[in-house]
Amino acid sequence: MSLSGPVRQAPLVLQVAEQFRGLIESGSWPVGAKIPGENQLAADLGVSRGTVREALRSLSLTGLLEPRVGDGTYVRATNEISGVLVRDELSATLTHVLDARAGIEAAAARLAAQQPAAAGLAALDGALDARRTAHEAGDLDAYVAADAAFHRGIVEASGNPLLLRLYDAVAEVLTDSIHRTATIPEDPRVRDAHHALVAAIRSGGPEVAAQASYALIESVKESAAGE
């Protein structure tokens, strides 16, 4: 996605902010990246530096951007929900995030088990294979990516588009919790809990699947705590 001069129907600052939001949402400005400076952005858009500054400030207030004094402005999140969560992360412990994950994923697992034939089990099996391959290679980044895909796959298997949208809205925070708890070598309890969850969904027992999802998160907590 590239910048283009704004049309003039809406307030100019709002138009510029929406263009910046589009660059963030499309991944042209990825999370963690430093964005161009105000002077360059103003020149690219043909607007004043003050207009760019106000647009950036509005996105900083929602948590999408993070200005760093003496350094520049960085992308913090891709949507306002994640932005608020990341901005307020000091008040949310890892346990809080894991508990939130447990609630979403258990609800998804319960729904997925009600329709196992259409639950995308092949995708889940593929994610488990990717986890194992990355683990055997000692590739932590690939392992985290595969694990994130597995957990999103559970929610996708629920067949509930609103639940998936909710999950995607906070995916950055949830993936960060995976990164913070992932280890190579993997705790065998965590590995076994992933396989047990897929088996529970495949068996078609909603309550068993929900409990297996909760058990998976508990295994992660115990592993992270060194128990």
Q: What residue ranges define each of the domains in the chain, with the CATH number in brackets?
A: 12-78 (1.10.10.10), 92-225 (1.20.120.530)
- Residue matched to tokens 């047990």: 196
pLDDT for residue 188: 95
**CA neighbor of 77 nearest in space, from 69, 68, 86:** 86
pLDDT for residue 89: 53
pLDDT for residue 183: 93
Tell me, yes or no, if the pTM score tops 0.75. no
pLDDT for residue 5: 55
Q: Which two tokens stand for residue 13?
A: 């600052």
pLDDT for residue 32: 84
User: Positive or negative CA dihedral for 179, 188, 219, 170?
Assistant: positive
Low-confidence ranges of the chain (pLDDT < 70): 1-10, 80-92, 118-119, 227
- What is the Cα–Cα distance from 223 to 181, expressed in whole angstroms? 8
Q: Which two tokens stand for residue 165?
A: 């949208």
Instruction: Give, as one character, the DSSP assignment of residue 116.
Output: G
- What is the Cα–Cα distance from 198 to 124, expressed in whole angstroms? 7
Burial 39-59 (b: 16+ CB within 10 A, else e): eebbeebebeeebbbbbbebb
pLDDT for residue 60: 86
pLDDT for residue 90: 45
Q: Which two tokens stand for residue 69?
A: 């004094």
